[in-house]
């Protein structure tokens, strides 16, 4: 499994918690709210692992809201989960691109999206297109 290092898409601060381990790896630290309760949530940073450490009593099947622990912004992504229609939550990679997870507890939908998966291809064509011009 690959381990991901993510940051807040708004303030750019790292969401990694080196002290608090999940799956023996630094965890992804966010805040969530469910109903009137708000508290920390730690997610495994191993892509494909669903292990979490949750302090908020959000039942499986319910949607919670995710917040950056630094700037407190809502981490809601623009897209909805294809499986259960709950809002997706987005974290950014330092290198660009996002990892998105479903905000419904127990839903295993998650995806990695690069801002521009064709960037490399395009760069290649821009660099070499001169050779292809008539």
Tell me if 63 contacts Zn ion by CB under 5 A.
no
- What are 76's strand-pairing partners? 89
Query: Which string of b and e fits 73-112 if b means at least 16 CB within 10 Å?
Result: eebebeeebeeeebbbbbbbbeeeebbbbbbbbebebbee
Interface residue with Zn ion, options 81, 89, 90, 101 (CB under 5 A): 81
- Give the DSSP H or E segment for 122: helix 119-132
Tell me if 71 contacts Zn ion by CB under 5 A.
yes
3-state SS, residue 52: strand
Per-residue x/- marks for Zn ion, 10-49, CB under 5 A? xx--------------------------------------
Nearer to Zn ion, 94 or 122 (CB): 94
Binding residues (CB under 5 A) for Zn ion: these are 8, 10-11, 68, 70-71, 81, 83-84, 86, 102, 104, 107, 109
């Amino acid at each position: 499994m690959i381990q991901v290092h993510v940051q807040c898409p708004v303030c750019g601060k790292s969401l990694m918690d080196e002290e608090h381990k999940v799956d023996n790896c630094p965890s992804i630290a966010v805040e969530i709210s469910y109903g009137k309760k708000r508290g920390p949530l730690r997610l495994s940073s191993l892509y494909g692992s669903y292990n979490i450490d949750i302090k908020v009593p959000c039942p499986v099947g319910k949607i919670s809201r995710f917040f950056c622990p630094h700037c407190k912004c809502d981490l809601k992504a623009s897209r909805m989960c294809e499986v259960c229609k709950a809002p997706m939550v987005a974290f950014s990679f330092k290198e660009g691109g996002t990892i998105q997870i479903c905000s419904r507890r127990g839903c295993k939908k998650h995806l990695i999206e690069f801002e521009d998966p064709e960037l490399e291809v395009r760069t290649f064509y821009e660099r070499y297109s001169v050779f292809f011009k008539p």
